[in-house]
Chains A and B, each alone.
Chain A
Amino acid sequence: MSAISTDALGKRYGSTWALRDCTLEIPAGSVTALVGPNGAGKTTLLKLAVGLTRPSFGAVEVLGLAPREDERELMPKVGFVAQDHPLHMGFTVAETLKLGQRLNPSWNDDIARTRIEHLRLPLDRKVGKLSGGQQAQVALTLALAKQPEVLLLDEPVASLDPLARREFLNSVLEAVAEHAMTVVLSSHIVTDLERVCDHLVILSESRAQLVGSIDEIVASHRLLTGPLADASDVARVHDVIRASHTKRQTSLLVRANGHVYDAKWELHEVDLEDIVLAYLGYGVAEYELEEVVR
């Protein structure tokens, strides 16, 4: 069962496509990373999923429901933390929780209070006086206390310092450990993807470039190195994602469709981070094989 599925989904602002021809499925229960540079369409995809904007083309379904038309049925099941996590700066933390309680029939006040206590946030402090990390945590509490089935996070840690970032991710993952939910986490930071997420969507230039489980992606991508050669032979069978040549050597990052039989190529596994960077258009780090046990 898909938590989110899109069908040729597109969004246009004027003559610019923010997202184009996007067809993907995000499995229920997964922790999916939505990765791509700024402007790639990550925010647009999430906003379409949560009904904050309407598709120009195609369709999106969350838990089998349409975000706009089935708004009343769907919204209690979806938690969303926007990029700038807008909160009412003049409200106290307690009033912000009250907002959540009044606007969400599925609100569980115990979850909310326990989280705030655990984070040691003073209930009577105005939100505007909290640090960025604390505000992000309050926004996350609002999303989690309604006990959603799907949690969408739009670059929630982009503006946070590393410690706050860690704590935020921790909170999210602990929540997933406690109540199974699907998480989609968008970020333009590619480190730590593998430990936090099990699925990946790479968006670049408003299109979905790669979608799949991280295990499968790492297993199917290889770095081929060999003497200077043309990539076209390889490209006939496999998807060449990135080719780079020096005077004497050629490196190809490929998504293998089956075995690579040509003996002139040496095969290496590739880090998830390097795979992602290759899809985003950056060079793959050249390897120097180490002989020490790692």
Chain B
Amino acid sequence: MIRFHLERSGVPTYLQLVQQVHQAVRLGVLKPGDQLPTVKEVVGTLTINPNTVLRAYKQLDIEGIVEGKRGVGTFVASDARPTPPDDDRKALRSALDRWLARARAAGLTDDEIATLFDDTIRPPAISRVA
């Protein structure tokens, strides 16, 4: 069962929820057939607007990641295969560009940058909040 969390990142709340579901499916934390928390449960944990949760679940439904079963709950679809949406890619890319510029301005060589990157990525930085 996934547990949602919120970050003050400027990303709209519903989108954060969507992304967290994507991530969870990608990493296998959520498998096809698993049930997502009910709207009430998410609201109870995060103190957010139920409409936001509904919006996130609706988007996931449209993307084919989840399917809602009326009166029962929302479940991960059997053929769920999330890809990062284009916006995400673009934002990530430009943020990476800026970060690289900053690293170089700080005096790091390309090798040092690569080492830094490897070290960061290798113990996989998955926030697996059970």
Contacts and interface: CB of A to CB of B under 8 A. Distances in A.
Decide if A and B touch, CB cutoff 8 A.
yes
Interface of A: 29-31, 166, 169-170, 173-174, 176-178, 192, 194-198, 215, 269, 291-294
A269 B38 CA distance: 32
A30 B50 CA distance: 10
Given A176-B49, A293-B95, 5 more contacts: A174-B44, A176-B43, A176-B50, A177-B40, A194-B13
A174 B43 contact: yes
Interface string B38-55: 111001101111111100
B127 interface: no
Give the secondary structure class of B's interface.
Answer: helix
A286 B96 CA distance: 25
Contacts of A29: 51
Interface in B35-88: 38-40, 43-44, 46-53
Closest A-B pairs by Cβ, 9 of them: A177-B50, A293-B95, A177-B40, A195-B48, A173-B43, A291-B98, A177-B39, A177-B43, A294-B9
B58 to A, nearest CB: 14
Contacts of B51: 29-31, 198
Given A195-B13, A269-B10, A294-B9, A170 B43 contact: yes
Contacts of A194: 13
B89 interface: no
Interface string B94-130: 0110110110000000000000000000000000000
B102 A195 contact: no
Given A174-B43, A177-B40, A294-B10, A196 B99 contact: no
The listed residue with most A CB atoms (<10 A of its CB), out of B47, B51, B95, B96, is: B47
Contact of A195 (B10, B52, B98): B52
A197 B9 CA distance: 18
A35 B101 CA distance: 42
B6 interface: yes
Nearest to A176: B50
A31 B48 CA distance: 10
A196 B47 contact: yes
Given A195-B6, A198-B52, A178 B47 contact: no
Contacts of A178: 40
B49 A173 contact: yes
Interface in B11-36: 12-13
Contact of B99 (A173, A269, A293): A293
